[in-house]
Amino acid sequence: MTAPWTDWDHIVKLDPDKTLYADETFTDVCATGTDAIEIGGTLDITAEKMREYLRPCLAACAEHDVACYIEPSHADAVVHEPIPDGFLVPVVLNAGDTFWTTGAHLNWVKSDEHIDWDRTFNEAYIIMNPDASVATYTEANCELDADDVAAYATVAERMLGQDIVYVEYSGMFGDTDVVGAAHDALDEATLFYGGGIGTYDDAYRMRHHADTVVVGDLIHDEGADVVAETVDGAKAAAKERTPDNTA
Ligand SMILES: CC(C)=CCC/C(C)=C/CC/C(C)=C/CC/C(C)=C/COP(=O)(O)OP(=O)(O)O
Ligand SMILES: O=P(O)(O)OC[C@@H](O)CO
Ligand SMILES: [Mg+2]
């Protein structure tokens, strides 16, 4: 069976530390047409906040046939009840502190007796915006050019056996040459891109360089109608890509 994310053009990333826009609901988020929801954030994420989001989110996702995954930023963000479709656990390739490459994972494996391995997958992160909380949190070295990012993508796929590589520009729109270089370096692995997508055109443009675009803050700051336009942009780009240049 192929991995579910190979069919995803668009993901909404919900931050359980933030409220939904105005009086919007999880049903409104699903109705954007996105393929999947990831629940996660860098700062102030607790198991309680995760659970509060997960319950209504799972119900809406089931109704709209949208996948629902937890993206934990630390071991306490992994909640086993209610049960999400899965866990996308980051491994940060360019972290300055190796705790975020293998250390947190070691602690988690030693402390959590309930890890559901059939639902647990990784995302090999390359963090590119030095001003993002996640860059500070992981002390990431963001001084990378396109060749460096391509090489990291190769390390992830060929040496670490990663199925997902995530070029993360959280908070800013990224360099399409850098994202494209990561994409070109990959053979089978899926390339996620996230950061600063705010319009149809942003999503359309970036979906030409990545397999899946992730939209985060926009859902909290501007709401579901604007996010729906980014879904349309990502889907339009996906349709245009020929079998030769798509992964
Ligand atoms: C071992 C386990 C279960 C977890 C560790 C997982 C790791 C390595 C986490 C490192 C940090 C990370 C990559 C978190 C993912 C979520 C993310 C990138 C959220 C977006 O962050 P920002 O946009 O910078 O944060 P805010 O929106 O909170 O400011
Ligand atoms: O919040 P934005 O800038 O859309 O970034 C999305 C996501 O990649 C964050 O982890
Ligand atoms: Mg953010």
Q: Is 90 in the pocket of ligand 2 (CB under 6 A)?
A: no
Amino acid identity, residue 5?
W
Atom of ligand 2 nearest to the CA of 42: 10
Those residues with Cβ within 8 angstroms of residue 217's Cβ, 6 or more apart along the chain or in another chain: 15, 171
CA-closest residue to ligand 1 atom 1: 105
Q: Is 195 in the pocket of ligand 2 (CB under 6 A)?
A: yes
Question: What's the Cα-to-Cα distance from 131 to each of 14, 40, 43, 169, 195, rounded to whole Å?
Answer: 20, 18, 14, 9, 12
The span from the CA of 91 to the CA of 56, in Å, is: 28
Mean pLDDT, range 182-205, rounded to an integer: 98
242 pLDDT exceeds 60? no
Atom of ligand 2 nearest to the CA of 41: 10
ipTM here:
0.96
Ligand approaching nearest to the C-alpha of 216: 2
Evaluate whether 28 touches 1 at the Cβ level (below 8 Å).
no
CATH 1.10.10.370 for the 4-240 domain, yes or no: no
Evaluate whether 29 touches 64 at the Cβ level (below 8 Å).
no
Choose the weakest-confidence range: 13-17, 96-100, 199-203, 241-245.
241-245
pLDDT digits (tens, 9 = 90+) for 120-164: 999 999 999 999 999 999 999 999 999 999 999 999 999 999 999
Evaluate whether 201 touches 161 at the Cβ level (below 8 Å).
no
Q: Is 214 in the pocket of ligand 2 (CB under 6 A)?
A: yes
